[in-house]
């Protein structure tokens, strides 16, 4: 499964997330401070076989 390193542009929180968590953050905002996030706030990390 692909994982992403997320860094909030407002609070600076860094979190490793999977694809469903990434999609939720793009829809609902940062899970810590609820700030709006964009795809550029995520860095793709790895793809592992399921």
For the chain, give the number of residues: 50
What is the predicted pLDDT for the residue at 1?
A: 77
Residue 13 neighbours by CB distance under 10 Å: 13
Gap between the Cα atoms of 27 and 49, Å rounded: 26
What is the predicted pLDDT for the residue at 26?
A: 96
Q: Domain coordinates of the chain in residue numbers? A: 3-46
What is the predicted pLDDT for the residue at 50?
A: 58
What is the predicted pLDDT for the residue at 35?
A: 96
- How does pLDDT run along the chain (50 residues), one tens digit per residue? 789 999 999 999 999 999 999 999 999 999 999 999 999 999 999 666 65
């Amino acid at each position: 499964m692909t994982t992403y390193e997320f860094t909030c542009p407002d609070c600076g929180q860094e979190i490793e997330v999977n694809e469903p968590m990434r999609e939720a953050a793009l829809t609902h905002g940062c899970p810590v401070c609820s700030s709006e996030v964009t795809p550029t706030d995520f860095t793709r990390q790895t793809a592992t076989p399921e």
